[in-house]
Amino acid sequence: MAYDTAAAPPGTGRRDNPSTATVVATELARHRRGFIPWYHLLAPVIITVPLFLGALGSSEAQAGQTFEVFRNVTLEFWGVLVPMTAGLAAALSVRADQDAWRLLLSYGVPRGRYFVGKVAALGVLGFVSSTVLLVMLSLGAVLSGRFPEAMGTVVAAVYLPWLVGLSMTALAVLVATVWGMGPSIGVGVAGLLCGALVSDKDFWFAVPFAWPMRVVLPLAGIGPNGVPLPEDSPVTDPSAIPLALVLAAALTVALLVIGRMHMSRKEI
């Protein structure tokens, strides 16, 4: 009886050509334990609990504006935390994969999928973190007796920074892949500083690190320092939001293309 020795073992095609969804699911499975998932789950809780307690003791609380103070300060912190989280998570995730990549890059799997999968997986964790923040803000509204009427644009103010911040995740993963952990954390620090110092300036659109914070300002009606803005302030112009979304989408696509190219040429 003759055997076809050239025939591939069962499942080889699937193993060497997994879908992007499979790669993302594998990345998420690998992040079930360790610092990164716990950070994404607990960071919103850690920042909101003391901020709510502080809001209870504020002078505005006596005027029945406890939730408004809590919401504004929380969203201010969140706007600068999104890029900081992107840099930190990317740095730790890529560093943890250095040994695994020595094996994975030897397979016939299209290498670019590893990069896209990591960005997407960290993006999913960011979405989970944003959802936890929304839950905490909702609890604050309930405890203040202002749910749901005071929620207003809170949902948009929570999720839009995450959506715009995907560009920072892609940038941080690319920097971590090319230059290592330190520069990737530097991306997060730059995002924190630019969110606080540049997001309300006229040239904010030229500084990607400031984009997550910029979409928060008109929705929450606050400046980068958490102080409510006057109604005639140009910072409250909502036209900055679609512009930031378009810029972030374009940058994300460009970074994914560059990242795929880099992974395809990366030496084992």
Q: Flag whether 12 is in a domain.
A: no
Q: Spell out a b/e string for 154-181, using b for 16 or more CB atoms within 10 Å of the CB, else e.
A: beebbbbbbbbbbbbbbbbbbbbbeeeb
Which segment, 109-118, 124-133, 188-197, is predicted with the most confidence on average? 124-133
Indicate the SS3 state at residue 217: helix
Which is more confidently placed, 226 or 49? 49
Query: 108-123 in b/e burial notation, b at 16+ Cβ within 10 A?
Result: ebbbbbbbbbbbbbbb
Q: What is the pLDDT of residue 221?
A: 83
Mean pLDDT score of the chain? 87
For the segment 197-203, the average pLDDT, to the nearest whole number, is: 92
The per-residue pLDDT for 265 is: 80
Per residue in 49-92, pLDDT (tens digit) is: 999 999 888 777 777 788 988 998 899 889 889 999 999 999 99
Residue that wins the pLDDT comparison between 13 and 47: 47
Position 1 in a domain: no
4 assigned to some structural domain: no
Count up the domains in the chain and report the number. Answer: 1
Asked whether residue 8 is assigned to any structural domain, the reply reads no
**Tens digit of each residue's pLDDT (9 = 90 or more) over 239-257:** 999 999 999 999 999 999 9
In a domain, 122, yes or no: yes
Least confident of 23-32, 37-46, 123-132: 23-32
**Tokens coding 196:** 């606080």
Secondary structure of residue 178 in the 3-state scheme: helix
In a domain, 3, yes or no: no
What pLDDT score was predicted for residue 59? 76
**Residue 6: its pLDDT value, please?**
44
Q: How far is it, in rounded angstroms, from Cα 218 to Cα 234?
A: 9
Residue 126 placed within a domain:
yes
Of residues 9 and 173, more confidence is placed in 173
pLDDT of residue 14: 56
User: Is residue 192 included in any domain, yes or no?
Assistant: yes
Q: Which domain holds residue 124?
A: 19-265
C-alpha distances (whole Å) from 59 to each of 6, 56, 229 are 78, 8, 18
pTM, to two decimals: 0.88
